[in-house]
């Protein structure tokens, strides 16, 4: 029975699962093939790890939030149609249809272009982020975040670009949870300056609008302008679908908050630009791929990890101190309760039990995994952590 090998960045306490690959070293398979394959690299430091496992064995102690990859659908599932999204569209029927997680299948493509999945429809800010990262790419719309993850896993696309946080609205928690549930790797980031525009049918003025439709966060971010107009607010799945609704319904008293690109795609007029309350409205996106990249020290790198901690006083302080002691800058820390074990009970008195949340901690820090400081920090973190996983090491994006 042949083993299907899956590359996973991981750090673990079980030494037989820990192996490394320095940048100058060519990877090769070791001689041990009992349930999984191991690299014969024990002479090297263990904290830049690429563990090769069969799908039936895990690299690390499983966390209850993690879900095994769902097998591809059976033969009765129809293959999703993927239509290339490029240029501007006036005919709404010709726009590419979003992929659905239900209809994803392991289809092939010719590989002539980099195919990048994003959540939404053409004109979405996520599509703009994908085009910023890969200007000549073929963008593939997906109806949900999870559909974009699965599109990469099933080789329908090469990459996925998904939002992870906004400077005004905060973190996109759904994508943090999906990062743990899927075995994809962060290979880059994109920072995009959001420019909300008020759109309407050609020939109307913004004072004629009685209602405005958009994503709830976009409406909230344009609160001052919308209050001045005194319009009713209607919610949509995303900003680009709001523009599509206005164009398809053709109601002159209905506008949308969306991007300038969405106005051009759907044949709408820009009634006002930069209507967001905060001019410095930035969304950060992650680029996800099936394989990790080999990090270097030639440019500024960022590393993202997730871990859980042992119980005890001051354990979070100790965990964060491993980075401070090595002068590694933390750029992000996010905590998420474990979904299937949200509470743990601790008997602390004869009057009852105290209940505490069990948390996963997501951290971004400014260091490459090729940097010994990062390797030593993760080795030190192992003293307090029950579980550590490196989500990715990737070049930082400093361009807006």
Active site residues: 283, 285
Please check whether residue 178 is in contact with residue 281, taking contact to mean a CB–CB distance below 8 angstroms: no
**CA separation for the pair 297, 203 (Å, rounded):** 54
**CA separation for the pair 283, 77 (Å, rounded):** 35
Label residue 35 left, alpha or beta by phi (over 0 means left) and psi (-120 to 50 means alpha).
Answer: left
Q: Is the dihedral of CA 148, 152, 157, 163 positive or negative?
A: positive
Strand order in the sheet with 269-272: 232-235, 211-214, 254-258, 197-200, 269-272
Please check whether residue 212 is in contact with residue 180, taking contact to mean a CB–CB distance below 8 angstroms: no
Q: 94 is written with which tokens? A: 């010709």
What does residue 184 show for φ and ψ, rounded to 5 degrees?
A: -100, 165
Q: 64 is written with which tokens? A: 């209850």
């Amino acid at each position: 029975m042949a083993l299907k090998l899956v590359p996973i960045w991981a750090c673990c306490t079980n030494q037989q699962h820990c192996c490394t690959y320095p940048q100058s070293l060519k990877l090769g398979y070791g001689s041990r093939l009992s349930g999984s394959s191991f690299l014969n690299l024990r002479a090297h430091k263990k904290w830049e790890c690429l563990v090769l496992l069969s799908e039936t064995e895990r690299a690390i102690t499983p966390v209850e939030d993690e879900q095994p990859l769902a097998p591809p659908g059976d033969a009765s599932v129809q293959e999703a149609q993927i239509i290339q999204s490029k240029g501007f569209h006036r005919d709404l029927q010709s726009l590419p249809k979003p992929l659905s997680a239900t209809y994803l299948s392991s289809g092939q493509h010719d590989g002539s272009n980099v195919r990048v999945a994003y959540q939404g429809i053409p004109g979405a800010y996520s599509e703009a982020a994908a085009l910023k990262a890969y200007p000549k790419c073929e963008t593939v719309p997906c109806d949900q975040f999870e559909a974009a993850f699965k599109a990469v896993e099933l080789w329908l696309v090469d990459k996925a670009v998904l939002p992870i946080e906004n400077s005004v609205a905060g973190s996109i928690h759904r994508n943090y949870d999906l990062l743990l549930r899927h075995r994809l790797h962060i290979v880059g980031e994109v920072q995009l300056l959001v420019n909300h525009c008020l759109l309407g049918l050609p020939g109307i003025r913004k004072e004629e609008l009685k209602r405005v439709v958009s994503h709830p966060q976009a409406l909230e971010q344009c609160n001052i302008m919308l209050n001045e107009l005194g319009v009713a607010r209607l919610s949509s799945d995303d900003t680009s679908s709001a523009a599509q609704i206005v164009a398809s319904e053709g109601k002159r008293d209905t506008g949308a908050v969306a991007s300038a690109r969405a106005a051009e795609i759907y044949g709408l007029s820009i009634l006002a630009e930069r209507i967001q309350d905060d001019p410095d409205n930035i969304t950060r996106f992650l680029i996800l791929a099936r394989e990790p990249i080999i990090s270097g020290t030639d440019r500024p790198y960022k590393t993202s990890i997730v871990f859980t901690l042992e119980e005890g006083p001051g354990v979070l302080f100790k965990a964060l101190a491993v980075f401070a002691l090595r002068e590694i800058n933390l750029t992000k820390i996010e905590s998420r309760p474990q979904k299937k074990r949200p509470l743990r009970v601790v008997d602390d008195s004869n009057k009852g039990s105290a209940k505490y949340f069990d948390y996963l901690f997501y951290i971004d820090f400014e260091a490459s995994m090729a940097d010994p400081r990062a390797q030593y920090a993760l080795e030190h973190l192992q003293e307090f952590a029950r579980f550590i996983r490196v989500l990715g090491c990737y070049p930082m994006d400093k361009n807006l």
